[in-house]
Amino acid sequence: MNNKEIIKYFYEVVVSENLLNELPQYISKDCV
């Protein structure tokens, strides 16, 4: 997947599954 697809998938999963409690692990992976 390219970056746009990853971002789209990420937001779709977070919004649809309401996985806000899992946000930190994704953010830390991408930002570190």
- Please state the domain extents for the chain: 1-32
Q: Note the pLDDT of residue 27.
A: 66
CA–CA distance from 10 to each of 23, 28 (Å)? 10, 14
| pLDDT, tens digit (0-9, with 9 covering 90-100), for 1-32 | 688 998 888 888 777 766 666 666 766 666 55
Q: Note the pLDDT of residue 4.
A: 92
Note the pTM of the prediction, 2 decimals. Answer: 0.41
Burial of 1 (0-12, 13-18, 19+ CB in 10 A): exposed
For residues 12 and 5, the answer to whether their CB atoms sit within 8 Å is no
Rg value, the chain, Cα: 10
For residues 23 and 14, the answer to whether their CB atoms sit within 8 Å is yes
Q: Note the pLDDT of residue 30.
A: 60
